[in-house]
Amino acid sequence: MKKNKPEIRFKGFEEEWEDMEATHIFRTNDDRNHPNLPVLSASQEFGMIIREDLGFKVQHNKDNEVGYKRVVPGQFVIHLRSFQGGFAHSSIEGITSPAYTIIEFLNMEKQDDIYWKYVLTSKDFIKRLETVTYGIRDGRSISFEDFSELGFQVPPVEEQRKIGTLLTTLDKLIRKLELKLEKLRNIKQALLNQMFTNVNRGVHSTIDKIQEL
């Protein structure tokens, strides 16, 4: 028997999650003729980002940007193939490739975009998407029609916000620990270099850095 209540809940939430198809949650959006907005690119880790922030320039005809699609905060961009992870959340406004599909909520008051950011980039979702996207590994991109066939168990928007906030907090903590780990690796390498080249040069300052962490 299918369960519409997760085993782990936030306190105060008892309502069953609603079974809904994607077509009853999302719709496509095709808004063009905004060439003055920054060009965005899709990334698997950070969602939609300003192309110039990637650190390299992409040669293209600026005149074509009138045909690029506008993206606003809270929307999603279908940009790749399912086995690569093909949905990017946008927290910024800009324009992106006309080859991409922009989707948004049918009712923004009943959905939380941060919660759905995690749903649409989860391994479980990507695996399910492959079941309705035939030929995807042969180079066919994801279409909204493919995606719209999928069903979801949808919590109330208040619970969505709680879940999204928790996962965002965990991501920030993970990032903070990753940066700390990288710093420790660099310090370790510096110690090894100093210890085996000149014992008296810089070792104490490096140890001081470890104690500051």
**Nearest-5° angle of CA 66, CA 72, CA 78?**
80
Report the alpha-carbon distance of residue 177 to residue 174 in Å, rounded: 5
pLDDT at 174: 95
Q: Within 10 A of 136 (CB to CB), how many other CB atoms are there?
A: 19
The string of DSSP letters for 91-111 reads SS-EEE-TTSEEEEES-GGG-
Instruction: Pick the closest to residue 117 from 163, 159, 79 (CA basis).
Output: 163
Q: Could you tell me where the beta strands, DSSP code E, fall in 31-109?
A: 40-43, 47-50, 69-71, 76-78, 87-89, 94-96, 101-105
Which of left, alpha, beta for 37 (phi over 0: left; psi -120 to 50: alpha)? beta
Regarding predicted confidence, which is higher, 46 or 131?
A: 46
pLDDT tens, position by position, 91-108: 999 999 998 999 999 999
Distances (CA, A) of 208 to 104, 181, 184, 200, 205: 51, 16, 12, 14, 5
pLDDT-derived band at 79, boundaries 50, 70, 90: confident
- Of the pLDDT bands very low, low, confident and very high (cuts 50, 70, 90), residue 60 is low
pLDDT tens digits for range 141-182:
688 988 998 999 999 999 999 999 999 999 999 999 999 999
Contacts of 148 (CB under 8 A, 6+ apart): 21, 22, 23, 26
Sign of CA dihedral 43, 47, 51, 54: negative
pLDDT of residue 128: 85
pTM (predicted TM-score): 0.82
Query: Would you state the pLDDT for residue 140?
Result: 59
- CA proximity to 103, closest of 146, 62, 165: 146
Nearest CA to 5 among 19, 20, 21, 16?
A: 16
Average pLDDT score over the chain: 85
Mean pLDDT of 59-72: 84
Give pLDDT, residue 1.
42
Helix axes 203-212, 157-195, angle to 10 degrees: 160
The pLDDT of residue 211 is 58
Please tell me which residue, 201 or 75, carries the higher pLDDT value: 75
> Percentage of residues in the chain with pLDDT exceeding 70?
80
